[in-house]
Structure 1
Amino acid sequence: MMKKLVIMLHGVGSYGADLESIARYWQKGVTDLEFASPNAPFHFMNSPDAFQWFSISEINQENRFQRIVEARVAFDQTITTILQQHQMQNHLDQVVFCGFSQGAIMALDAVVSGRWPVAGVIGLSGRLVTPILDGVSKSTQILLMHGEADTVISVQESHLAREQLSLAGFNVHLETFAGLPHAVNQQELERGEMFLKTILGT
């Protein structure tokens, strides 16, 4: 049976191991699922234990996208290394990105820019910053989940992302959760498992 791979992409100021428990939960229900949960390439606030995909220092609506663009080389190197380690370079149809917050931003950027047409994206508490490239593959299925009580990234960002992705032709679904702040709950774990089974098989 073909193995499957989920790559976990953590939020700013966090680290890879922070999302491992989510991937291990999914491993129990999805046959032959492997996972990788790397640290982002850049240190956060000069801390040896906290990382970021791009700097949020003095970030705003005008400069956010440029910072994502500048982060692409390091992001792509991270993904390439993981795919090589798992021998999945030629099996993107069996690979899913799962990103939380800043990790979700990078996961969506990777897909809508056309760089990584993976099987699926699970975007937790994120936003779509990147303009969707004309002619990009729409093969990636996307599940967005967001807490309605999120004060870090508003749930409205996921509503906007769903609208833009849907208009562009992506298969995208959004679920929101009353009372949930900038965090992950059990319902999201269960819904994520169902999503993985649907697009990768059990």
Structure 2
Amino acid sequence: MKIDGPRLDAASGKAKNLVVFLHGYGADGNDLIAIGREWQELLPDTAFVSPHAPEACAGAPMGRQWFSLTFRDPHERWRGCAQAGPGLDRFLDEELERQGVAPERLALVGFSQGTMMSLHVGLRRRISPAAILGFSGMLVGPEHLATDATARPRILLMHGTHDQVVPFDALFMATEALAKAEIPAEFHIAHGLGHGIDGEGLRQGGAFLKAAFKGVKTPQVAASQG
């Protein structure tokens, strides 16, 4: 299935940056695109897209999944990310071309399973994205980072202390594994928050993306000498 989903054009009329939202298990692209509307004033030169994951979700018939989860196989997340990764990577290339945005001006914003995919694909991009922002997720296959990671984007991970779906400890497991692979990451602890995104997370996330895009130095093509 071809990956596609709802989009928001840059408020300024010309996109210089691209934010791709990756939704969680059992949701779809409509679940996160509203965040783009909240960030349009802060990021006026940014286009937003929130693709639907390619598979129907067995656990939520009206929703989608990046990969299936049985919670019985300890390796299913790694296999799932590895299988879904190439298709998502192609979508990112196509969307950057569609928007006319340089690949280093890409940011991935994930929630739960979407965070797993954001980290998996974002850290393996040929040209590093500007940023990865992950809510309520985890780093899948940290033991593979040393050999697989090709990108060093800015990373901010957020997690609620009362998350009942993805354990809160996944935040520290991810940041420690990233540090071991010499990939620095910031984190934010949302005290009392369950499996979700709160207003403070949106505020900090938007500010993080704005700073990340501001720090990108897009290579300039030298003028030809005639």
TM-score by length of 2: 0.81
Aligned-partner residue type, residue 25 of structure 1: E
- Alpha-carbon distance in 1 for matches of 2:128, 2:67: 22
Partner of 2:158, secondary structure, is: strand
Structure showing greater Rg: 2
Instruction: Call closer, same or farther: CA 1:81–1:46 in 2, change over 3 Å.
Output: farther
Partner of 1:170, secondary structure, is: coil
Instruction: Call closer, same or farther: CA 1:153–1:17 in 2, change over 3 Å.
Output: same
Matched, 1:177 2:190: yes
Q: Which runs of 5+ in 2 are unaligned?
A: 1-13, 216-226
Q: Which residue, out of 157, 162, 166, partners 1:153?
A: 166
CA contact (8 A) 2:57 2:65 kept: yes
Which residue of structure 1 aligns with residue 122 of structure 2? 111
1:84-107 deviation line (CA, Å, top 9, x unaligned):
32123xx12211000000000001
Q: Which residue, out of 170, 189, 212, partners 1:199?
A: 212
Instruction: Call closer, same or farther: CA 1:47–1:139 in 2, change over 3 Å.
Output: closer
CA contact (8 A) 2:28 2:63 kept: yes
Q: Which residue, out of 162, 177, 202, partners 2:175?
A: 162
Partner of 2:139, secondary structure, is: coil
Which residue of structure 1 aligns with residue 201 of structure 2? 188
Deviation at 1:59, TM superposition (A): 4.6
Q: How does 1:44-193 map to 2 (within 5 A)?
A: 44-45=57-58, 49-88=62-101, 91-115=102-126, 117-130=128-141, 131-134=144-147, 136-193=149-206
Instruction: Call closer, same or farther: CA 1:113–1:94 in 2, change over 3 Å.
Output: closer
Give me the CA root mean square deviation. 2.1
Aligned-partner residue type, residue 118 of structure 2: A
The runs of 4+ residues in structure 1 deviating greater than 4 Å are none
TM-score by length of 1: 0.90
Which deviates the most, 31-40 or 136-145? 136-145
Which residue of structure 1 aligns with residue 221 of structure 2? none
Number of matched residues? 200
Q: Which runs of 5+ in 1 are unaligned?
A: none
